[in-house]
Amino acid sequence: MTGNFDALAADRSRLARSSAAQRVAEVLRDHIIEGRLAPGTRLSEEALGEALAVSRNTLREAFRLLADQRLVVHELNRGVFVKTLSPRDVADIYTLRLALEMAGVRALRCAAPERLAAVRAALARAEAAETQGDWGAVGTADLHFHQAVAGLADSERIDECMARLAAELRLAFAAVPSAHGFHEPFLRRNQVLAGLLESGEIDDAELELTRYLDDARTVIVNAMAENGR
Amino acid sequence: MTGNFDALAADRSRLARSSAAQRVAEVLRDHIIEGRLAPGTRLSEEALGEALAVSRNTLREAFRLLADQRLVVHELNRGVFVKTLSPRDVADIYTLRLALEMAGVRALRCAAPERLAAVRAALARAEAAETQGDWGAVGTADLHFHQAVAGLADSERIDECMARLAAELRLAFAAVPSAHGFHEPFLRRNQVLAGLLESGEIDDAELELTRYLDDARTVIVNAMAENGR
DNA sequence: TCTTGTCGGATTGTTCCACAATCCTCTAGC
DNA sequence: GCTAGAGGATTGTGGAACAATCCGACAAGA
CB proximity A19–strand D (7 Å threshold): no
What's the pLDDT score for residue A4? 67
Does B221 score more than 80 pLDDT? yes
All residues of chain A having their beta carbon less than 8 Å from the beta carbon of residue B65 are: 64
CATH 1.10.10.10 fits A9-82, yes or no: yes
B112 compared with B41, residue with greater pLDDT: B41
Locate the DSSP E strands across A14-170.
42-43, 72-75, 79-82
**Cβ separation of A76 and B102 shorter than 8 Å?**
no
Q: What is the 3-state secondary structure (H, E, C) of B108-159?
A: HHHCCHHHHHHHHHHHHHHHHHHHCCCHHHHHHHHHHHHHHHHHCCCCHHHH
What's the pLDDT score for residue B114? 86
Closest CA to B150 of B107, B87, B204, B196: B107
**Cβ separation of B102 and A102 shorter than 8 Å?**
yes
Q: Which residues of chain A have pLDDT under 70?
A: 1-4, 228-229
Alpha carbons within 13 angstroms on the beta-carbon side of residue B79 total: 13
Nucleotides of C under 7 A from a protein CB: 11-17, 21-24
Closest CA in chain B for residue A59: B61
Q: Are A170 and A83 in contact (CB under 8 A)?
A: no
Residue A166 sits at φ, ψ, to 5 deg, of -60, -40
What's the pLDDT score for residue B14? 62
* Helix or strand run (H / E) with residue A186: helix A179-198
Q: What is the DSSP letter of A72?
A: E
**Cβ separation of A161 and B161 shorter than 8 Å?**
yes
- Domain B87-228 superfamily per CATH: GntR ligand-binding domain-like (1.20.120.530)
Beta bridge partners of A140: none
The C-alpha atoms of residue A144 and residue A156 are separated, in whole angstroms, by 15
CA–CA min distance B130, chain A (Å): 32
Distance A60 CA to C28 C1' (A): 38
Closest CA in chain B for residue A65: B64
The C-alpha atoms of residue A25 and residue A107 are separated, in whole angstroms, by 34
- Where does the pLDDT of residue B8 fall: very low under 50, low under 70, confident under 90, or very high at 90 and above? low
CA–CA min distance A104, chain B (Å): 9
* Helix or strand run (H / E) with residue B21: helix B20-33
Closest CA to B40 of B88, B89, B81: B81
Closest CA to B94 of A17, A178, A155: A155
CA–CA min distance A198, chain B (Å): 22
List the single best residue of A69, A89, A155, A214 to mutate versus B (max B Cβ within 10 A). A155
Please give the average per-residue pLDDT across B117-128, as a whole number: 96
Nucleotides of D under 7 A from a protein CB: 10-17, 20-23
What's the pLDDT score for residue B10? 58
Tell me the per-residue pLDDT of B162-219, one tens digit each, with 9 for 90 and over.
999 999 999 888 878 888 889 999 999 999 999 999 999 999 999 999 999 999 999 9
Beta bridge partners of A74: A80
Does B100 score more than 50 pLDDT? yes
First-to-last alpha carbon distance for chain A, in angstroms, is 68
Q: Give helix B117-131 / helix B135-151 axis angle, nearest 10°.
A: 170
- CB within 8 A of B172, min separation 6: which ones? B85, B89, B90, B93, B220, B224
Does B3 score more than 70 pLDDT? no
For chain A, the domains span: 9-82, 87-228
* Helix or strand run (H / E) with residue B80: strand B79-82
- Please count the other Cβ atoms lying within 10 Å of the Cβ belonging to residue B195: 14
Identify the contact set of chain A against chain B, taking CB-CB distances under 8 A: 16-19, 57, 60-61, 64-65, 68, 76, 92-93, 95-96, 98-100, 102-103, 153-158, 161, 165
- Where does the pLDDT of residue B1 fall: very low under 50, low under 70, confident under 90, or very high at 90 and above? very low
